[in-house]
Amino acid sequence: MISCVRVKDGVEFTKIAPAGFHILAAIDSAAAFIAHDLTITSACDGEHSGPDDPHKRGEAFDVRSHDLPDKQLALQAIMNSLGTLKFYGFIEDETEANEHLHVQLRHGIIYP
Ligand SMILES: [Zn+2]
């Protein structure tokens, strides 16, 4: 079975920056690596941290984690593709209802 990237209904990709495409490609690779579908739950939409939010610039995406057999492995697989020099990812709100993987271009990094 082919694992793929899905998008939650209502998620809006209003803008995808070059760094954002790298993140999306990394999520796609990670789905194949962990042999499990990955679902994007937030792109440019939703309430985030304000006008300087990387989500609004198309440089950050959230991925559902509570349906994954190993969320740490999924995060590692994404970050292995991106590298941690320019990109940053973590499990946000871990163990809470809103838990998800958040992956973004690091603040202050101009890309490409
Ligand atoms: Zn996020």
* pTM, two decimal places: 0.94
In a domain, 110, yes or no: no
CA–centroid distance, 35 to ligand 1, in Å, is 23
Residue-wise pLDDT for 18-75, tens only, equals: 999 999 999 999 999 999 999 999 999 877 777 789 999 999 999 999 999 999 999 9
Residue whose C-alpha is closest to residue 85's, from 67, 69, 56, 108 = 108
Distance CA 80, CA 39 (A): 19
CA–centroid distance, 53 to ligand 1, in Å, is 9
In a domain, 26, yes or no: yes
For residue 80, pLDDT over 90 is answered with yes
CA–centroid distance, 70 to ligand 1, in Å, is 19
In a domain, 111, yes or no: no
Residue span of the structural domain in which 33 resides? 5-105
CA–centroid distance, 7 to ligand 1, in Å, is 14
| Contact partners, residue 101, CB within 8 Å, separation at least 6 | 62, 63, 64, 65, 71, 74, 75, 78, 89, 90, 91, 92
CA–centroid distance, 65 to ligand 1, in Å, is 12
How confident is the model at residue 112, as a pLDDT? 81
Q: State how many domains the chain has.
A: 1
How confident is the model at residue 1, as a pLDDT? 80
pLDDT band at 111 (very low <50, low <70, confident <90, very high): confident
**Cβ 60 vs Cβ 26: under 8 Å:** no
